[in-house]
């Protein structure tokens, strides 16, 4: 029995070590130092880039300003592309001198050069500096770009370059790159590369002012069109049912909608500014809905100053207009918040949080709708329904004829 127990314990120990190895080995493989490059070239330095599961191996010869690189990344799908670039003039993709790898029409991985002078047309083009020995391959879910670059003299003197890396969904027949996502991972795929290799990690440029403005734009619009306007509509439709809430409901409704309008205009203005700065990038549907919302909400706010009295003959028509425009703003506002979330691609928890908020407001609306119908039905049932008979209905008892 003792021997049997000993063998069982040893087996369990070996089995546990085996599973531990399985858990550890994937993490170890996801570092540049453990990667085996198919060109068998030895590079002096390697970096685990902070986003998009990407890695850079490089060697720099300061004597002739020659930079040898091997860029490794995972495309988003089998037809996707990966890219590594140097930007001599800025930190964004515009102006970047890029090496891009993708599968050609025969399924062979190829590498092309792209001088990204603007976002409107991203097609193969010669770079502004010399590039040679460019090849690419694919295995294990990774694409690899190899090449040598003649670093411009001014960048070599500075000792560092602005590097950008990116992945995208596919390539057109003309070699034009299909637009990549604009999520946090993609927007932060940039940094400063120390050519000497003394910097062991990428010096990230961090979240730039443009990204911050995008986040501010998203928050302002989610709060205004996506939350406050629906809340104001709920107040107007349901709280007014209770006679004791008059006229408090109106002031609550007006305050909520006016606050939503002010915040929404700030978000709309930020979005228009971002749009004017995004050359070649236009989110047509999101932009069109945003402009429509601004126009409808502006007309709605000014209509408050033209609100007829309850007994005015035009009040009926004003109500139709006011309710129609209000519901249009409600629907378009929520729709555009989701459009914006798709564009920004924030962490999934933010989209989930907004869905929960809308679900809670929707649940409150459904509950109050039921309560409202009960109140209205009871109120109508208490109203007198018998026709005038000469004795009742407030006329007193009719006197007999003499």
CATH class of residue range 209-381:
mainly alpha
Contact 167, 74 (CB under 8 A): yes
What mean pLDDT is predicted for residues 212-232?
A: 89
Residue 13 has pLDDT above 80, yes or no: no
Residue 49 has pLDDT above 60, yes or no: yes
Nearest to 264 by CA among 232, 310, 309: 232
Angle at 274 between CA 325 and CA 347, to 5 degrees: 85
Mean pLDDT (the chain) is 80
| CATH 1.20.120.1770 residue spans of the chain | 209-381
Q: How confident is the model at residue 22 (pLDDT cuts 50, 70, 90)?
A: very low
For the stretch 62-89, pLDDT in tens is 899 999 999 999 998 988 999 999 988 8
Distance of CA 219 to the CA centre of its chain: 11
Q: Please report the pLDDT score of residue 341 as a whole number.
A: 85
For the stretch 248-273, pLDDT in tens is 888 898 889 999 999 999 999 888 88
CATH class of residue range 35-204:
mainly beta
Interatomic CA distance for residues 3 and 10, integer angstroms: 11
Contact 289, 225 (CB under 8 A): no
Q: Which of 136-145, 284-293, 310-319 has the lowest mean pLDDT?
A: 310-319
More confident residue, 347 or 247: 247
Interatomic CA distance for residues 115 and 96, integer angstroms: 6
Which phi and psi angles does 59 have, rounded to 5°? -135, 140
Question: Tokens at residue 54, please?
Answer: 């990407």
Q: Please report the pLDDT score of residue 93 as a whole number.
A: 77
DSSP single-letter state for residue 177 = B
What does the DSSP assignment read for 199-249? --S-EE--S-HHHHHHHHHHHHHHHIIIIIHHHHHHHHHHGGGSGGGTTHH
For the stretch 25-37, pLDDT in tens is 333 345 778 788 8
Angle at 319 between CA 315 and CA 321, to 5 degrees: 120
More confident residue, 144 or 394: 144
**Calculated CA dihedral for residues 362, 367, 371, 374, nearest 10 degrees:** 100
Interatomic CA distance for residues 218 and 210, integer angstroms: 12
What does the DSSP assignment read for 364-376? HHHHHHHHHHHHH
Contacts of 392 (CB under 8 A, 6+ apart): 386
Residue 402 has pLDDT above 50, yes or no: no
Sheet with 203-204, side-by-side order of all strands: 109-115, 97-103, 81-87, 160-168, 190-194, 203-204
User: Radius of gyration of the chain from Cα atoms?
Assistant: 33
The pTM (predicted TM-score) of the whole model is 0.52
| CATH 2.60.40.1210 residue spans of the chain | 35-204
Q: Please report the pLDDT score of residue 24 as a whole number.
A: 38
Nearest to 181 by CA among 320, 65, 66, 345: 345
Q: How confident is the model at residue 210 (pLDDT cuts 50, 70, 90)?
A: low
Specify which of 8-12, 86-90, 343-347, 378-382 reaches the highest per-range mean pLDDT: 86-90
Q: Please report the pLDDT score of residue 60 as a whole number.
A: 92
For the stretch 94-137, pLDDT in tens is 788 999 999 988 889 999 999 887 666 677 888 888 999 999 99
């Amino acid at each position: 029995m003792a021997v049997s127990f000993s063998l069982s314990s040893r087996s369990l120990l070996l089995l546990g070590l085996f599973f531990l190895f399985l858990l550890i080995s994937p993490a170890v493989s996801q570092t540049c130092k453990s990667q085996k490059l198919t060109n068998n070239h030895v590079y002096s330095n390697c970096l685990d880039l902070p986003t998009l599961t990407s890695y850079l191996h490089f060697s720099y010869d300061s004597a002739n300003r020659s930079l040898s690189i091997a860029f490794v990344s995972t495309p988003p799908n089998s037809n996707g592309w990966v890219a590594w670039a140097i930007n001599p003039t800025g930190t964004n993709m515009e102006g970047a001198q890029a090496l891009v790898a993708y599968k050609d029409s025969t399924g062979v991985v190829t590498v092309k050069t792209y001088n990204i002078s603007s976002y409107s047309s991203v097609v193969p083009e010669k770079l502004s500096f010399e590039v040679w020995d460019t090849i690419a391959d694919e295995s294990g879910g990774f694409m690899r770009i190899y090449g040598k670059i003649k670093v411009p003299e001014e960048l070599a003197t500075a000792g560092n370059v602005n590097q950008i890396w990116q992945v995208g969904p596919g390539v057109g027949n003309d070699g034009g790159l299909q637009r990549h996502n604009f999520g946090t991972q993609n927007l932060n795929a940039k940094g400063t590369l120390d050519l000497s290799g003394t910097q062991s990690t990428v010096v990230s440029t961090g979240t730039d002012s443009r990204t911050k403005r995008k986040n501010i734009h998203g928050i302002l619009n989610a709060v205004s069109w996506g939350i406050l306007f629906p809340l104001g509509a709920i107040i107007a439709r349901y709280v007014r049912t209770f006679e004791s809430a008059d006229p408090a409901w109106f002031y609550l409704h007006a305050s909520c909608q006016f606050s939503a309008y002010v915040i929404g205009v700030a978000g709309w203005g930020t979005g228009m500014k971002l749009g004017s700065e995004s050359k070649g990038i236009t989110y047509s549907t999101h932009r069109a809905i945003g402009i429509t919302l601004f126009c409808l909400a502006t007309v709605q706010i000014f209509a408050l100053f033209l609100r007829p009295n309850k007994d005015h003959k035009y009040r009926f028509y004003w109500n139709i207009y006011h309710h129609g425009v209000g519901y249009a703003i409600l629907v378009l506002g929520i729709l555009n918040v989701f459009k914006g979330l798709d564009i920004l691609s924030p962490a999934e928890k933010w989209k989930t949080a907004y869905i929960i908020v809308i679900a809670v407001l929707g649940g409150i609306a459904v509950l109050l709708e039921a309560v409202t119908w009960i109140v209205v039905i009871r109120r109508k049932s208490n109203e007198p329904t018998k026709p005038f008979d000469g004795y009742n209905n407030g006329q007193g008892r009719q006197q007999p004829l003499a």
